[in-house]
Structure 1
Amino acid sequence: MGKHSLLAMSIAAVILFAAVSCTPTVKVEAPAEPITINLNIKLDAEVRLKIEEQAKDDINKNPGIF
């Protein structure tokens, strides 16, 4: 083996080592606590009911509006 081939192999080994050591690691883990989804259905239904009642009252008070 000549000096050039030994140098080339050394450089290749250093480049290979650098490439392997810089490989990113990705970890997928479940959260420690469960995911909580809060839905307030009662509030939505209550607001809709009030709007519908107000609309009915407005139509009854102004029958020619439509």
Structure 2
Amino acid sequence: MKHRPPPSPLAFGALLLMLAACAPTIKIEAPDKPIEINLNIRIEQEVRVRVERDVDSAIRNDPALFGLPPAPVKGKTP
């Protein structure tokens, strides 16, 4: 079995030059006009909360039941 000698550095350099010549060229240019971004965004949010009268009275009678602090009593100061 015969062994090949390693390729010469000159052949390796020529191969690299041929591969570099085949590379695509990328060209980047700034546009002539400024970039304009038109954002027509309309955001609406509506929150509706309805509480039944009996639930409202339960919250007022025992706010701790719902994790709320006790309501202040009229006429008393803390």
TM range (shorter): 0.3 to 0.5
The structure number with the bigger radius of gyration is 2
TM-score when normalising by structure 2: 0.33
Q: Could you tell me the TM-score, scaled by structure 1's length?
A: 0.36
